[in-house]
Amino acid sequence: MVGTPVFLIAIPLLAAFLIPLIGMIWKESVRIIPGLVLAYMTVLSASLYLFILENGTYVETIAGWQAPWGIDLVFSPLTGLLATIMTFMGFIVWLYSYRFKSNVEFEAAKKYFIFLMLLVAGSVGIVITGDIFNQFVFIEIVGISAYALTAFYTGRNSAEAAFKYLIMGSLSASALLIAIIIVYAQLGTLNMAEIAANIDQMNVHYRIIAMIFFIIGIGVEAEIFPLNGWAPDAYTEAPGPVGGAFSGIVVKAGIYAMVRMMFTLFDISGPMKILIVIGLVTLIVAETSALRQEKLKRMLAYSSIGQMGLVLVAFGMGTKAGVFAALFLMLNHAIIKPLLFLSGSFLTFNTTEKYISQITGMAKKMPVVSVLFALGALAISGLPPFSGFWSKLSVLTAAADENLMLIIALVLIISVIEIVYYFRVINRLFFFEYDESVSVKPHKPGFNGMIALFILAGLILLIGFYPASVTGYLDLAADDLLNTHQYIDKVLQLGQSIIQ
Amino acid sequence: MKKAIVIFFLAVFGYFMAITFLSPEFEADRNRNGVKDFYLEKTVSDLKTANTVTAIVVNFRGFDTLGEVTVLFLAATALGSILFKKRHHIGERTVLYPASTIVGSGAKLIFPAIILLGAYVFIHGHLTPGGGFQGGTIIATGFLLMLISYRNFSISHNILSVIESLAGILFVVFGFMGLIYGGSFLENFMGTGILNDLFSGGVIPVIYILVGFKVAAELTGLIYTILHEKG
Amino acid sequence: MEYLLFTIGFLLLVLIGAALYAVYQKDLLYAVIATGVISLALTGLFLVLQAPDVALTEAAIGVALTTIIFIITIRNTVRFEDEKDKKMKH
Amino acid sequence: MDTAELIRLGVYGTSILLILIGLYAVLTKKSLIKIIIGLSIIDGGIHLLLIGIGYVKGGTAPIFSPGSEDAVARMVDPVPQALVLTAIVIGFGVTAVALSLIIRLYRHHNTLNIDEIKNLKW
């Protein structure tokens, strides 16, 4: 091991404070240090993950106080898997944007990389923390980095998208704080395991109200309907790689927070139905909106929201197969969506509007990027033999086990819709003539960016042809999420509870 | 029409809030023996810190505080990034009229006192009410007073940034020292001394003083940035 | 005890009054000052409710810093909610 | 109804009212600055709510002075106070970012009216 879970958060923070200092002397460091930190986080997270697969969940206490009293970090098969995915995606996004703005101001680049690094660190923090108020703090860290990244380009609309995001984000943060207040007032603790162990002592009315506030509070990051109004604008206006970071990292953290809250914290009969309803509404609204979009990134954003709806539906089934399918979907989405965003951002390079019509016939000019984009599009719409197929299949089998025919039918219809709108783009990309008056000027994509794209594409093909390479890990993670008692026992190691 | 919907929504929201917080059951069902008693007891016996809030902010929930200074750091950075202009010349400060002699001399007179008060508040954070955040913000208000009273009072952005970075780095380094000498991140690894002494509480006052420096530098920088913004 | 009750009641009334004033006032500068008054009343309440640490923070951040950055923003943008009278800007 | 009950109801009721007033401003007002004012009113309400949670009747501040080490039983709950400290600072950070966004929006649009700015669809 090269560290403990707390390094995943402390090291990026240390680096963020260090960068302005070193940047005064050595300008290139503002690009290199974040990359080194993200690479280190990936290695650390992966090695910790392998470690805990052998030795069981690792709970780290902070400031020397045992779990119910102090803040603790939980590194379990589920959180470890997610943290590894996130840090890896963070590294990929860094790799893609390494030369980003290299010809422009040093100050801007410095800030961009600090925000990116803290975005990843905050998302990892949301996942591995075991304390609800600590989670709130991390949500705010992610939030402020995300607002700043959205408003990064000084274009006309970016400030507006960021402002919209900020209003929704801070309203939902207030809701989250109210939920925390209710829980603390009733149970006198903020530790997740402690809350989970004592949730049945809480009045049912308060439990339901607190849960509603929690859903509102986390829903903005998790992009559930109707709290996702910010997403299409933010994805469109943010710099290209940031869209990939949002869909690959931030949303995953939001979904995790929501699922952890539903499965572990609030043990109400029927919360799963709530998840299914939320997920289905999100799915249908988002996918039908995606069909109508004229702008590439807006379409991708709606598609991303729709996928998250599907994830929630799969989680909502509440069975082992459902959770497994949901995690599989999350993994695939975390790989495929950044590929689409990153390659899409190469295709619409230097345009402000990013209309789909602007990429007409680009395949003739930028064949490699176009093929990679098409690969992502085919994979996410669930066509065999790519990775998306297996996750959609597992959703369908999970639904079939539970006899949820409505869900099966809807998922199939949605898949058709997805195929339609992705093929619309692919059609334009490959089978139309290049038209100089409409299309963007082709450019030579950077070397580092292409490496990032190839890594992602390689992963898609790997999972597509050998799904068994990941299913074992996902299986363990699903077990971990469903086993609330084990979580409580592991965190409250001594078996002591402050509430008798 | 829109207003009617909003008021309906507010009524529903208010109703739920009211039945949650105003019903007598809310108090009756409360579980009083939560973490509170443990914190109060351990603050005196183990940490030897008189101010329990400080002990919680810096030690029991120190990780939150680390996140919180990061939020401030991010906000200050974001402000610079959002208000960034291509041709970045330091603009004239948005103070329309120079301060009158009375305000000017008054500010000069009060400024050292404010700084002193801020320093007092964060040095005594573990003994009396106050601490790093409070002291830091008080110092920032002192600089604010000078900035709006004198058009040519200026602070070097680089120095602020160095103070901020050093304080942040030392905070994390103290956390790691806790990991090395105590066994967990941010653990109180120094001798705790005697309750109500200035040098008591081990690492708590040290970290809180660092937080004070960091908050003061961040807030001053933040105000400085926004003050030099011409609409 | 009566004294405590009176103080708290007064501060709560100030809070609600200032909040309503801040929302309905068309002149944003006055509205911002009203939010400063809210923070001031909150400071007093925190003090009465035995939270001196929070009172100090609220006094420094809520009353001084938040108000001043609001005022700077208003100075850089518009002063009136309606914006019809643009030349009344400052 | 005794004093403690009155204080409790008053504090909770006022904070709920503050939250509602703030929400009303956020949802109906056209001026961006008014929206941010609404947000800070909501924040104030929530902070008051948190402090109200921790208050016990006749309690003392959670600070030990020499010779009062046995006062534990009468102290108010320090945890919500620590949480409010964090929340206030975070709220200030968010407000500062929001106001800087407003300044930039004004630079581009020369107005702060939300109806005139909207060229992104909701």
Each residue's pLDDT expressed in tens, for chain A with a length of 500 residues? 567 889 999 999 999 999 988 888 888 888 889 999 999 999 999 999 999 998 888 888 888 888 788 888 999 999 999 999 999 999 999 998 887 655 557 778 888 899 999 999 999 999 999 899 999 999 999 999 999 999 888 776 788 889 989 999 999 999 999 999 999 888 888 889 888 888 888 888 888 889 889 999 998 888 887 888 888 888 888 888 888 899 889 999 999 998 888 888 887 666 678 888 888 999 988 988 888 888 888 889 999 999 999 999 998 888 889 899 999 999 999 999 999 999 888 888 767 677 777 777 777 888 888 899 999 999 988 888 888 889 889 999 998 988 888 889 988 998 899 998 898 888 888 888 877 777 777 777 788 888 999 999 999 999 989 888 888 999 999 988 888 888 888 888 754 554 44
Q: What are the chain C neighbours of D3 within 8 Å (beta carbons)?
A: 1, 4-5
Distance (Å, whole) CA B152 – CA B155: 10
Q: What is the pLDDT of residue D62?
A: 84
Phi and psi of A59, rounded to 5°?
-115, 120
Any idea where the domains of chain D sit in the sequence? 3-61+71-115
Residue A409 belongs to a domain = yes
Q: Say yes or no: B190 contacts chain C, CB-CB below 8 A.
A: no
Q: What is the pLDDT of residue C83?
A: 66
Q: Is residue B151's pLDDT more than 90?
A: no
Q: What average pLDDT does this structure show over B130-145? A: 90
Q: What is the pLDDT of residue C34?
A: 94
Q: Say yes or no: C54 contacts chain D, CB-CB below 8 A.
A: yes
Q: What are the chain C neighbours of D59 within 8 Å (beta carbons)?
A: 50
Across chain C, what does the average pLDDT equal? 87
Question: What's at D56, amino acid-wise?
Answer: V
Which residue, among A137, D116, A64, D50, has the nearest Cα to B184 in the 3D structure? A64
Q: Please tell me the distance in Å from D7's CA to the nearest CA on chain C.
A: 7
Q: Is residue C86's pLDDT more than 60?
A: no
Distance (Å, whole) CA A283 – CA A217: 20
Q: What are the chain C neighbours of B96 within 8 Å (beta carbons)?
A: 75, 90
Give the CA dihedral D57, D58, D64, D65, nearest 10 degrees: 170
Q: What is the pLDDT of residue B48?
A: 83
DSSP H or E stretch at residue C81:
none
Q: What are the chain A neighbours of D91 within 8 Å (beta carbons)?
A: 170
Question: What's at A158, amino acid-wise?
Answer: S
Q: What is the pLDDT of residue A228?
A: 82
User: Residues A201, A245: contact at Cβ < 8 Å?
Assistant: no
Q: Please tell me the distance in Å from B101's CA to the nearest CA on chain D.
A: 31
Q: Is residue B87's pLDDT more than 70?
A: no
Q: Say yes or no: B9 contacts chain D, CB-CB below 8 A.
A: yes
Residue A498 belongs to a domain = no
Q: What is the pLDDT of residue D92?
A: 93
Q: Band of the pLDDT at B22, cuts 50, 70, 90?
A: confident
User: Residues A131, A119: contact at Cβ < 8 Å?
Assistant: no
Residue A26 belongs to a domain = yes
**Omega into A367 within 30° of 0, i.e. cis?**
no
Q: What is the pLDDT of residue B171?
A: 92
Distant-in-sequence contacts of A372-375, Cβ < 8 A, 24+ apart = A372/A339, A372/A343, A372/A453, A372/A454, A372/A456, A372/A457, A373/A339, A373/A340, A373/A343, A373/A344, A373/A347, A373/A425, A373/A426, A373/A429, A374/A426, A374/A429, A374/A430, A375/A339, A375/A457, A375/A460, A375/A461
- Answer yes or no: do D16 and B17 touch at CB < 8 A: yes
Q: What is the pLDDT of residue A13?
A: 93
Distance (Å, whole) CA D94 – CA B182: 35
Q: Say yes or no: D9 contacts chain B, CB-CB below 8 A.
A: yes
DSSP 8-state symbol, B91 = P
Q: What is the pLDDT of residue B231?
A: 46
Are C and A touching by the rule of 3+ CB pairs within 8 Å? no
Residue A2 belongs to a domain = no
Any idea where the domains of chain B sit in the sequence? 31-227
Q: What average pLDDT does this structure show over B61-90? A: 82
Tokens read off for A428? 């334009």
Interface test mutation site (partner C, options D11, D31, D57, max chain C beta carbons within 10 A):
D31
For residue D37, the chain A residue with the least C-alpha distance is A167
Alpha-carbon distance values, B194 to B127, B201, B210, D67, D69 (Å): 11, 8, 22, 13, 13
Tokens read off for A325? 């399918």
- Answer yes or no: do A181 and D49 touch at CB < 8 A: yes
Q: 3-state class of B230 per DSSP?
A: coil
Give percent of chain D with pLDDT exceeding 70.
93
Interface test mutation site (partner D, options A145, A166, A170, max chain D beta carbons within 10 A):
A170
Interface test mutation site (partner C, options D12, D17, D28, D47, max chain C beta carbons within 10 A):
D47
Q: Say yes or no: D74 contacts chain B, CB-CB below 8 A.
A: no
Question: What's at A286, amino acid-wise?
Answer: A
Q: What is the pLDDT of residue D43?
A: 93
Which residue, among A141, A125, A138, A133, has the nearest Cα to A60 in the 3D structure? A125
Residue A499 belongs to a domain = no
Q: What is the pLDDT of residue C89?
A: 47
Q: Band of the pLDDT at B38, cuts 50, 70, 90?
A: confident
Q: What is the pLDDT of residue A47?
A: 92
- What is the CATH code of the structural domain delimited by D3-61+71-115? 1.10.287.3510
Q: SS3 string of A138-181?
A: HHHHHHHHHHHHHCCCCCCCHHHHHHHHHHHHHHHHHHHHHHHH
Nearest to D12 among B21, B43, B44 (CB): B21
Distance (Å, whole) CA A195 – CA A200: 9
DSSP 8-state symbol, B61 = T
Q: Band of the pLDDT at C18, cuts 50, 70, 90?
A: very high
Q: Say yes or no: B91 contacts chain C, CB-CB below 8 A.
A: no
Q: Band of the pLDDT at B179, cuts 50, 70, 90?
A: confident
Nearest to A144 among B71, B182, B186 (CB): B71
- Answer yes or no: do C76 and B140 touch at CB < 8 A: no
User: Residues B126, B49: contact at Cβ < 8 Å?
Assistant: yes
Q: What crossing angle do the helices spanning B101-123 and B203-227 adopt, rounded to 10°? A: 150
ipTM of the shown complex: 0.94
Q: Say yes or no: D84 contacts chain A, CB-CB below 8 A.
A: no
> How many domains is chain A partitioned into structurally?
1
Residue A496 belongs to a domain = no
Q: What is the pLDDT of residue B136?
A: 92
DSSP 8-state symbol, A200 = G
- Answer yes or no: do A159 and D97 touch at CB < 8 A: no
Q: Say yes or no: B225 contacts chain C, CB-CB below 8 A.
A: no
Alpha-carbon distance values, B138 to A455, B220, C39, D85 (Å): 51, 10, 15, 15
Q: 3-state class of B127 per DSSP?
A: coil
